[in-house]
A and B are shown apart, each in its own frame.
Chain A
Amino acid sequence: MLLVVVVFSVMNCSNSPDEPEVKTAHVEKKTPLLEDVDGEALQQIINSYKGKKAVLVNVWATWCVPCVEEFPEIVKIQRKYPKELRVIFVSADFPEDRSRAKKFLKDHNVDWTTYFKTAKDEAFINSLSKDWTGALPFSKIIDRKGNEVAHWENKASFDTFNKHVKQAIKP
C-alpha cells in the first residue's frame, strides 16, 4: 500500500502539465518529447507560463538549414536559464518526417516536451504573429508578464537570443 502511495505521488509530481522538468532521465521517460499542437493549443501552452517563466518559441524543421544551424544555440539558452525560461520548440516537419524530428531532438539532448505542428499553415502562422510571412526559422520571445519582447524570421546567434531573453526574464 505504501509503495502504491509513493509511486502515485511521484507520478503526480512529474506530470505537472505546466512545469515539465528538464534534465532527469526519470522524467524523460514520462514526458513526451514531441506532442501535436495547433495554433490555439500552442497559445494556451504559452499562456500557461504567464507569471512564471519567460518563453522562447522557435519554429523549426529538420530540412531547414538555418533552423538546424541555430538549434544548438537555443538549447544552450535553455540550459543557461533553466528556472527563468521555457524554450518551446515547434517542428514544422512533414508528418512522415516525425521520427526524423524526434531523432534530431534526441541527438541534441532535448529532454523536455516539444511540439509538432498539425494545423494548416496560415492559421498557425497568424496565431504566432501577423508579421510572420511563413519563412523558417521563426522565433518569438515573451516576457514573464506575457508581453512580447521580440520576434523575427531567419536564424540568429546565441548573443541575439541571449540579449532578448535577458530582457524577457527581468523580474
Chain B
Amino acid sequence: MKRIITLSACTALAVVALWAFSPVEKAAKDELKIGAKAPMLETPVMDVSGKKITLKEVGKENGLLVNFSCNTCPWVSRWEDRYNPIAKLAKEHGVGVIALNPNAAIRDGGESLEDMKKRSDKNSYNFYYALDKDSRIAKAFGATRTPHIYVFNSEMELVYRGAIDDNARSAEGVEKPYLKNAIKEMAAGKEISDKTSKSLGCTIKFPASE
C-alpha cells in the first residue's frame, strides 16, 4: 500500500514538473488598442539612476513614449543608434521618453538592473531606462518583443504602436520613419499617418509562470 502511495506521489510530482517546465504554445497577445488609455501609469519602476519613477511622471505636455527594450537582443543593438536622436526629438516636441526592460525571466542572464545601468552608461542613454518588475507593464500593454514602441498623447491615449522604423539594419536605409513621424504629427495635433507597424524582434522573456 505504502509503495502504491509513494508511486502515485512520484507520478503526480513528475506530471506537475512536466507541466511546469514544458514550453507552452502561445497565441498572439492582445496588444493595447489605438485610442486605449495607458495602463499602470502610477506603478513605480526603478530607473538605472536608482530613482523610482512612474510613467505618469515621465510623460510631458504632449505625451509619452514607452520603448520595451533590453540588453541582450540583437535587434535592439541594431536600432540602438536611433535611440538617443529619437529621444532628443521627442523631448523637443514635449514628449517624455522611457525604455522599460521587461525580460524578467533572464535577469541573471544579462538583464539585471546593474546590466541595464552598464548599457545605459555605455550608450549614454538620454532617457529613463527602468526595470519592468515581473514584466507587469509589458503584460498590461500586450507587448511581445524588443524593441516594441508605444506612443501616448497628452490624454495618455495610445496613438502609435509598433516599430521604430522600417530598417533595423541601417538608419540610412530607412524609408518609413514611423516613430519620428508619429512624434512630430502628434505634437502638431495632426492625425498619425501610420498608427501601427510591425517588425521582427526578440520575444519578451516573461516570468516562468507565464
Verify if B199 is at the interface (C-beta below 8 Å from A): yes
Residue B145 lies at the interface, judged by CB distance under 8 Å to chain A: yes
Does more than half of chain B's interface fall in helix, strand or loop, or is it mixed? loop
Instruction: Tell me which of B19-27, B39-47, B59-67 binds A.
Output: B19-27
In the complex, the answer to whether A136 meets B200 with C-beta atoms within 8 Å is: yes
Q: A-B pairs with CB below 8 Å: how many? A: 83
Interface residues of A, count at CB 8 A: 30
Q: Shortest distance in angstroms between B77's beta carbon and chain A's nearest beta carbon?
A: 10
Contact with B along A108-135 (1 / 0, CB 8 A): 0000000000001110011001011111
A150's closest neighbor in chain B, by CB? B25
> How many residues belonging to B are interface residues under a CB distance threshold of 8 Å?
26
Q: How far is the CB of A170 from chain B (nearest CB, A)?
A: 19
Q: A70-B23, A94-B74, A133-B28 are in contact. Are A154 and B203 (CB under 8 A)?
A: yes
Of chain A, the residue at the smallest CB distance from B77 is: A63
Q: Contact between B201 and A134 (Cβ–Cβ < 8 Å)? A: yes
- B29 near A: Cβ within 8 Å? yes
User: A43 at the A/B interface (Cβ < 8 Å)?
Assistant: no
Contact with A along B133-148 (1 / 0, CB 8 A): 0000000000011001
Residues of B within 8 A of A (CB): 22-29, 31, 74, 78, 144-145, 148, 163, 166, 168-169, 197-204
